[in-house]
Chains A and B, each alone.
Chain A
């Protein structure tokens, strides 16, 4: 029974097997409701192509949103933070070593003196 007992932190229980069981029951119910729908679909006709209000469909490479453009709103919104952190990652090796010495110095003062 130790294999399937839930994980207990001191304050709560987490039983992944019960979670999987609940997920499976919900999935079965959803699948039963889905399979009650109509099953008519003619492959290769107008039903399969995307509908863009009558406009011509652009080519496939232009439809896909690239990674650099995702989360633009998030990056714009936190511009104050990003404008300070990103230039810190300069790529110059001397700056990396300077950070090591600064952190060692601050920790030395913090631990030894205080």
Chain B
């Protein structure tokens, strides 16, 4: 009996468990630091288990609806409301389940890493509290089916991330990065709230499904869409709104940076949810599709060309995060641009979207791995300046192997997972417009070039006399990096398993607006 109670309340538990653990964390920390470490790790493992069970239920039985405050959790349309879903609900369809799996997998590895890398810092109870809050916010952002609820979780994740970026006050530089991130996020949030106000004023609804049913393409709707697209494009770090990305990613602790990548991808999920499910074919998909494609191409090119002359290891990787976000925008933008045309969708639209969304999963994995290796190097050396490193391959062998796996994956070298998703993107975008595919391939080569630069200057060469006492990093950090590396290798060697079972249902759930409406509005 208890199992049914738990299973029917899973979406609420997904956000409630990290929240509860976060707020009790300072009290548990009073007992001992070891107690706090096991409390935090236990909470993360429990959240991961809840997310995996929920994803399994969604993939086998279809969309799960959870209404807060109703008599039964799937009473989405109350009897006496006249056909309008009036309560806040979590609508977990296949795309949400995929983003949840990505978030908790990376979060699990990252938390294991930060248990050992931030051990000797002060103020740790605040760190773990805000970290769990950030995880709860990201999970809430990708599961919700209500537009204002999305805004609330977006703001929670912005505030939590800004606090975490400024955690190591390295003579004020990290606080400057946190301030820039917070200002940009606040302006983006204000734009988003303005758009919500416009949509509410027109249609008197905040639920995504009922808005999707009622929406037409009036000029006010156009203004609302542009404001939301601009706000979410800022939050996910696409050029020319990417200026906060190198500052924030380079100054945060390494574990937090890997989680920030996941938070940016949750904003990318929001962008796709609004374009595909909220507006659907009501918007002029060619225009908006081309806008997203142009943003993607600019991100790819500017991101990788700014990365090559960088001298700070995490800043370089942050520019690569901008560039890889361009790949995702390109893939899904091509899918959006052919949304109304079923023949073109079947021929290359679905493949492009599969490539883009598979790239989201791959990017979270290999970018997390790369940032964790950069954090390991900084942990031992003490500086993140590439000009002062050299010859570390003699002493940090495991870190070198993990870095090689991560950088081969990001450059799109077979047999790792970067190649599988880039293969899908190249083949389908080439049919849409050959120039874009050629630009994507050149960007891939430049990515490999800049990671060869980092590999040479950090690991190759004779062992330098100033790094004589450097040894390998502690075991929890190696275990976390190994966990992500094994996932990179597995999803590279068996891409068909991941695509058939995880990605294709997500793509079909995203493009199938009628199915989403039917589940939420037509259900009991």
**B493-520: which have CB < 8 Å to A?**
493-497, 499-500
**B246-268: which have CB < 8 Å to A?**
246-247
**A76-114: which have CB < 8 Å to B?**
78, 81-82, 85-86, 89, 91, 93, 95-97, 99-100, 103-104, 107-108, 110-112, 114
The answer to whether A27 has its CB under 8 Å from any CB of chain B is no
The answer to whether B108 has its CB under 8 Å from any CB of chain A is no
Residues of A within 8 A of B180 (CB): 93, 96
- B387 engages A67 (CB within 8 Å): yes
Enumerate 17 A-B pairs (CB-CB under 8 Å) in ascending A order. Answer: A7-B424, A7-B499, A10-B348, A14-B423, A16-B414, A16-B419, A19-B414, A60-B463, A64-B391, A86-B309, A89-B306, A97-B183, A99-B240, A104-B191, A104-B226, A108-B223, A110-B291
**B386-428: which have CB < 8 Å to A?**
386-391, 414-415, 419-420, 423-424, 427-428
Chain B residue with minimal CB distance to A82? B309
- B308 engages A66 (CB within 8 Å): no
Chain A residue with minimal CB distance to B290? A110
Residues of A within 8 A of B179 (CB): 93
Of B230, B305, B464, the contact of A60 (CB 8 Å cutoff): B464
- B302 engages A85 (CB within 8 Å): yes
- B230 engages A103 (CB within 8 Å): yes
- B493 engages A16 (CB within 8 Å): yes
Chain A residue with minimal CB distance to B179? A93
The answer to whether A74 has its CB under 8 Å from any CB of chain B is yes
Residues of A within 8 A of B311 (CB): 67-68
| Interface size counted on chain B using CB atoms at 8 A | 71
The answer to whether B188 has its CB under 8 Å from any CB of chain A is yes
- Distance, CA A3 to CA B308, complexed state (A): 38
Known: A66-B390, A67-B453. 12 other contacts (CB 8 A): A10-B351, A16-B415, A60-B465, A64-B391, A70-B457, A78-B305, A81-B305, A85-B305, A93-B183, A97-B183, A104-B227, A111-B287
Taking the closest CB of chain A, its distance from the CB of B454, in whole angstroms, is 7
Residues of B within 8 A of A67 (CB): 311, 386-387, 389, 453-454, 457
- B457 engages A107 (CB within 8 Å): no
- Distance, CA A16 to CA B488, complexed state (A): 13
- B494 engages A3 (CB within 8 Å): yes
Taking the closest CB of chain B, its distance from the CB of A52, in whole angstroms, is 13
| Interface size counted on chain A using CB atoms at 8 A | 51
Once A7-B423, A65-B457, A108-B223 are accepted as A-B contacts, the answer to whether A100 and B241 lie under 8 Å apart by CB is yes
Residue picked from A5, A10, A110, most chain B C-beta under 10 Å: A10
- Distance, CA A109 to CA B29, complexed state (A): 53
Taking the closest CB of chain A, its distance from the CB of B40, in whole angstroms, is 33
The answer to whether B288 has its CB under 8 Å from any CB of chain A is yes
- B223 engages A100 (CB within 8 Å): no
Residue picked from A4, A23, A68, A103, most chain B C-beta under 10 Å: A103
Of A2, A60, A75, the contact of B500 (CB 8 Å cutoff): A2
Taking the closest CB of chain B, its distance from the CB of A72, in whole angstroms, is 9
Chain A residue with minimal CB distance to B457? A67
Of B183, B240, B461, the contact of A103 (CB 8 Å cutoff): B240
- A16 engages B495 (CB within 8 Å): yes
- A107 engages B229 (CB within 8 Å): yes
Residues of B within 8 A of A6 (CB): 496
Of A7, A64, A74, the contact of B308 (CB 8 Å cutoff): A74
